[in-house]
Amino acid sequence: MPYVTLAKLKAGLPADITAQLLDDAGGGVPDAANWAAIATAIQEEIDGRLGQRFAVPLDPVPPLIANAAFVLAAELLYQRRGFYGEHNPWTKRADSIRGTQGQPGGQVGLLDKIAAGEVPLTTETARARPSVSVITEPAKTTSAAGNMMS
């Protein structure tokens, strides 16, 4: 199962823009081969980062990964048409997923945080420590009859 589908991409981007970004023949229709190459590249990038901690490919695809794959795919689509860096509307979001290590002031990306265990992959991941603990015992200020002890 791919991490991002063309249907999800079409739902998140206007149809005419999606067609322009994927159509190399000029017919106004997204090219399935172009999309397959992009979906494969995105899955390989994500699997390369998460494969050090999880069995990949992930199936079912966690929503966090599906959303990350959508952003990475959108960035790659715009790059296909020559939009790089600040000219690409998806680069900042993709950098937060991928990380910017090696750049001045670089940050660790979401995928690396997941791979390191700093961010849970799914909401079902058990916490290391519970948020609240309650210890209860009977009060020692009253007798069994309910009277104050002296």
Residue 150 lies in a domain: no
Q: Tell me what pLDDT residue 126 has.
A: 56
pLDDT digits (tens, 9 = 90+) for 114-147: 999 999 988 765 555 555 666 676 666 666 666 6
- Please give the model's pTM, rounded to 2 decimal places: 0.78
pLDDT value, residue 42: 97
Q: pLDDT by residue (tens digit) across 68-99?
A: 999 999 999 999 999 999 999 999 999 999 98
In this structure, is residue 147 part of a structural domain? no
User: Is 99 inside a domain boundary?
Assistant: yes
- Tell whether 141 is covered by a domain: no
Of residues 101 and 130, the one with the higher pLDDT is 101
Helices (H), the chain: 6-12, 15-22, 32-50, 63-80, 91-98, 110-115
Residue 103 CA to its chain's centroid (Å): 22
Among residues 130, 102, 127, 106, which one has the least CA distance to residue 117? 127
Alpha carbon distance 5, 108 (integer Å):
26
pLDDT in tens, 10-48: 899 988 888 889 988 888 888 889 999 999 999 999 999
145 or 111, which is more confident: 111
Q: Are 9 and 67 in contact (CB under 8 A)?
A: no
Question: What is the pLDDT, as a whole number, of residue 45?
Answer: 96
User: Residue 59 and residue 75: Cα distance in Å, rounded?
Assistant: 24
- Tell me: pLDDT of 4 over 90: yes
- 15: in domain: yes
In a domain, 128, yes or no: no
Whether 85 is covered by a domain: the verdict is: yes
Quote the domain boundaries for residue 10.
6-115
Domain assignment present for residue 36? The answer is: yes
How many domains is the chain partitioned into structurally? 1
Q: Which residues pair with 148 in a beta bridge?
A: 142
Burial of 78: CB neighbours in 10 Å, binned 0-12, 13-18, 19+: buried
What does the pLDDT read at residue 125?
52
Please check whether residue 35 is in contact with residue 6, taking contact to mean a CB–CB distance below 8 angstroms.
Answer: yes
Confidence (pLDDT) at 141: 66
pLDDT at 15: 85
